[in-house]
Structures are given as C-alpha cells and as structure tokens.
Structure 1
C-alpha cells in the first residue's frame, strides 16, 4: 500500500549492506534500509489446508457411506479416511456430497439459501490429494517469495480477496456444478506478482526476463483451465483481483533505488513514489471496488453472466474431439 508506515515492520530484519534480491522471476536492487520478512503465513495456510482435507476425509467416511455402485474405497487401510472409488473421484478424495456439505461453492445455495459464506469456505476445500498437492506446492513456490518481500499482512489480504474474487466470477458463470480449491487465491498471487513488476519497473535489473517468465507461467496455467472439470473462471477472477491488489499493496518507493549501485555506501537518498504509481494505485482501487460491487450485485440478483457474454464459456472449457463441455 502506498504510504510511509508499515504495520508489519516489527517482524522484519534490516539489511546492513546493499544487495541484489533475486525473487522468483527477476532481480532488483535492495537498498540497505529495505526490509525482508520471515515467511510464516504461507506455511500456516498450507497446514490449514492439509488439516481441512483430513477433516473432509473424516466426515466423508467412505467405508460407511459408499453405496458400492462405483467400486471399492481406495486405500482401505486408512479406514475412515480412505478415498472414494477412482471412477467416482480420480483425484483420491471425497464425494461431491461431502464437499457440498462442508462449504463447496454452489450457486443455488449462495443465491437462494443465503449461504454467501461459501464464497470464502470453498477456498479451503480440495477435491483430492492430487488437487491439494498441486495447489500447496504452487502456494509455497509463489507465496513464500512474496511474503519474504512484502510481509504477511499484504500477502494475506491478496490471497483471501483474490480467492473471494475468483469465487464471485465462478458463481456468475457456473450454475450447475460445485467448485472447490485455492486456485483462485493462487492466481491472485500470480496477478499480484505481475502488477508488482509493472509498478516497481524501474528497480528491476532483469525486466525482460522477469516479464517473460511471469507471462509464460500465467499463460500455461490459464491454458490448463480450458480443460473440462477445471474452474477457469475462478482462476481468471482470482488473477484479476490479485492484479489490481498488487498495484494497491505492493508498490515500492522508486527514487533512491535508481542510482543505488553507483552511489557511495554511506550515502542515503530519499525514497519517493512516482506519479505513475499513484495513477496505478487510484485506478486499481476504483476498478477493484467497482468490480466486486457489480459482481456481488449480479450474483445476489441471480443473474447468469453467460446470458450477457455468449462466448465467455469458452474461457473455462473448449470442446474438442476428445472431450465435451456440455456437463
């Protein structure tokens, strides 16, 4: 967030000497008074998701609740925690009814049964072990780097609001299926990394490499979303939310960094925000507020966004000769 104070500074370590900080996608000059945090929020989120998955499987109780029509429970030695038959859930996880019971994203329950809390709870649920591992490994890879740079508060806000933003967009377009997973929140972190690169452009030393790497990562992940049974609307909603939040929360002072490599070690220049950073900040704030407001109003009015965008369904699933997107 643009401003001089920082509520997270108490947990920081200060660097005595000027260094180059290498993030996940590029490097930038790090002034001697810049701050570097210890990452604890991201590991806690990972632990919370793993614990929640154990709870899901405990409630699922395949040996007791399985009807036997789709085969036997998988990994029976886990007893109550064993998985649904692979023909029912190939991701090694619970049944859809269990996910629905525990807070999966479902349009009908949100709109007609006043269960708006599902926009939040679905972020903490996963459809199976494979789904959980993929998301948590991505979170560690992306989130720890961001938390070390910007602290737990800003990364936590981006993660949660992006997850909710993904849930809102998903609910506007998908009315007949349930959705779970932290993918929207993860795409929010990717979006924030991209906007952070733009708003802090002058302090990066490998601008082209950083931008190219990020775009490739984002493009690959969005391309995977056009496969069936993948909620790409949650990905897109999370990405757009995180992209705007990155301009709001992750801007760094620019002046004082530019000549950092060439100035004497005992010289300290005043850091300032640039005009374009303020323009980004104001524009992103307005767009974020308007986007969330319009999305929530449309959602609780029960509108189907597909009626306003006849081609948007291709953003989540592209039919081919190998699969259909009808269901």
Structure 2
C-alpha cells in the first residue's frame, strides 16, 4: 500500500481452507488386492484430529473474547473460550488477529517479515467450530482408508507435503486475507487417491466407476471453493501436490513380483525382474520432476514477493465467483496517506478517518472496517 498515493485496498478477513466432504463411494478393489500394511496400527488420523481440536481450543483460550469485546457469544457459559461475534467470525471461532498470532498464513508475515514457517503452521489452525468439524470429518473418512492401505508413514508424508503445497499456492495469490485450515492437506489425500487408482488400476474390479466417482467428489469440493471466504488456491495446490506425490509413494508392486517372493513350496510362480511395471516407473519419474520443479519455482516466486494475480487476470475466479447472492469485492475502500486511513464501507456508505500506529497493520484495518460496517 503506497504511502504517497491513494488506492483501493480490500479489508483483511479470515480465509479458510474450506471443508472437504468425505467420499460417498468406496472404490472396491478386487479380492486379490495386495495390502502390505493392512495389519499396521492406524494411529495417524486420530493423532491429527486430536492435534487440530487441541490447537483450536488453544486458539480460543488465547483469543479470550470477553477481555476485549462485549459482543462475544455465550461469555457467561464459555468464559474466555467464548466465540467472537458473528460479524467478526461467522464460523464461531477466534479473531483473525489471534489466528495470525498463532501462525496463520498472511502474506505480509511470510514475505516481508520472513516468517516462512507459517506455510506449515497454518494447516493446523482453524477459523471456527464449523470449520474444524467439517475438515476433521473429511479427514476421518478419507485418511483412515488410505492409512489402512498404506500405513501411517506414507500418508503422513502425503498429508504434510500437500498442506505445504496448498499454502505456497495460496501465498502467491491471496494477499490481503488470513488463511487457515487443513483442507489443502485433505485435498492432497483426494489427489493421492486418484493417482493411486490410476497407477494401480489393474487390481481394481471396476476402476472406471471408481475413478469417475472420485473425480465427481473432487469437482464438487473444488466447486465449494468458489464461495466467499474459502481459499480455493489451497485446495488446488494441495490436490495437485497429493496427485503427483501419490504416483511416487502410493505405488504398488506388480503381482508377478509379489508371487515369486511368497510362492509356497511345490509351486512355480511367474517370474519378473522388475518390481514395478514400466508405466509405473514413467509416472513416478514424471511426478518427481513435477514436484521438484513446482516446489522450487513456488518458493522462489514467494521469496521474491511475486503476485500471481499480476500474471493471471482470471485466476481470482477460482476462489470466488460473484453472484446475486454474494459479493467478492472488498468490504471497505481505503484511502491512505502515511498513517492516516480514510475508510468507506461499501455496504452502508459510512465513512471514517483513522490514525494507525503502523501504516501496514491490516489486522487493525479489519477491526475498523468491521466497526464501520456494523
């Protein structure tokens, strides 16, 4: 935001990595499907759910709404765990300032203040009760199936790297909002399910039906991302990260190789020298290159402060499409000269002039805008 010239700037708001609905259909593999990790204890998904719920409670404790507002929800019952007002946070949760304090993704903090660790921490925070419940429900349905098939180590890697990939893409396009949530990681699990179906298609009895169902589920969830306050960039980045990573870590050996390793005495199994088929190796190499190139370029662009919107004029429609039911524009128009900010609410046309201690304090601008529009 330039000091010497007036320009329009959107208010800061909480941008959530929206919920991922669990699949309605479970692709059924054939009876001879190889399940190398079926006896492993499934503890990863319960651990992730517990961490996310615990951190949400911590964020509410730190937020302590009654200490700074008299418009909290249920302060007598919930005490310092009381929710912010609906106008501040419609998802029943803490304020954006608290989320930023705990590690939410915000462009200024990541790029200008060199707090790159927020790319990782934002995926463990949630904006409200509805947000954390929806995401954890999706994780239980999607992640539990994958963990049962491939074990906690592979799915843990898939989950974390998908979340980071979603955060990187979000940072390149989302400049004026706070972004939190695990949906980038959960979309990565969906992407991994799709690549697993493609690379291991020979073991499934109805692979075309399974792929069609999964693609439909993915498209529906991405379509939800065009709603306001949902960070679809994190969804898309997480999905493609998980999709390519799935070809690398969710690959299954071919049956000839398995049979020759476990053939009973007196039987002759078909022999093969390679553990995987040729097309599996090709997909693995292409995916490794895509992941390496994508992460390196993304991190370089992010470190240089490149704004993806300047190179893609239509990309903003990926995260919000304006309709008669909602508006994707900013809530307040700002005219700033040094530390003085002249603000106009776009809904009720009320105006106000304010002095800021920090000319780039977007959290304070959000609070002032909310007060002006209330």
TM-score range, shorter chain: 0.7 to 0.9
Within a 5 Å distance, the mapping from 1:1-327 to structure 2 comes to: 24-30=26-32, 34-36=36-38, 37-66=40-69, 68=70, 71-74=71-74, 76-256=76-256, 272-327=275-330
Distance 1:74 1:28 in 2: 52
Counterpart for residue 15 of structure 1: none
CA apart distance, 1:157:
0.4
CA apart distance, 1:73:
2.7
Distance 1:33 1:173 in 2: 40
TM-score under structure 2 length normalisation = 0.76
Residue aligned with 1:179, SS: strand
Which of the pair has more CA radius of gyration? 2
What is the CA deviation profile of residues 189-215 of structure 1, one whole-angstrom value per residue up to 9, with x for unaligned ones? 000000000000111111122111101
Distance 2:165 2:35 in 1: 35
CA apart distance, 1:32:
7.1
Structure 1 residues 63 and 269 mapped into 2: Cα distance closer, same or farther (>3 Å)? farther
What is the CA deviation profile of residues 275-325 of structure 1, one whole-angstrom value per residue up to 9, with x for unaligned ones? 000000000000000000000100110000011111111111111122111
TM-score under structure 1 length normalisation = 0.87
What is the CA deviation profile of residues 148-202 of structure 1, one whole-angstrom value per residue up to 9, with x for unaligned ones? 1001111000100000000000000010001000000000000000000000011
CA apart distance, 1:270:
5.4
Q: For this pair of structures, how many residues does the alignment match?
A: 300
Q: Is the 8 A contact 1:74 1:85 kept in 2?
A: no
Counterpart for residue 5 of structure 1: none
Q: Which runs of 5+ in 1 are unaligned?
A: 1-22
Residue aligned with 1:133, SS: helix
Distance 1:278 1:198 in 2: 13
Structure 1 residues 285 and 33 mapped into 2: Cα distance closer, same or farther (>3 Å)? closer
Q: Is the 8 A contact 2:66 2:75 kept in 1?
A: no
CA apart distance, 1:268:
5.3
Q: Which runs of 5+ in 2 are unaligned?
A: 1-24, 331-374
Distance 1:282 1:142 in 2: 26
Structure 1 residues 203 and 267 mapped into 2: Cα distance closer, same or farther (>3 Å)? farther
Distance 2:37 2:124 in 1: 30
Distance 1:209 1:264 in 2: 35
What is the CA deviation profile of residues 10-49 of structure 1, one whole-angstrom value per residue up to 9, with x for unaligned ones? xxxxxxxxxxxxx932323445784312210110000000
Q: Is the 8 A contact 1:31 1:257 kept in 2?
A: no
RMSD: 2.3
Q: Is the 8 A contact 1:202 1:254 kept in 2?
A: no
If asked which structure has higher relative contact order (CA below 8 Å, sep 6+), I would say: 2
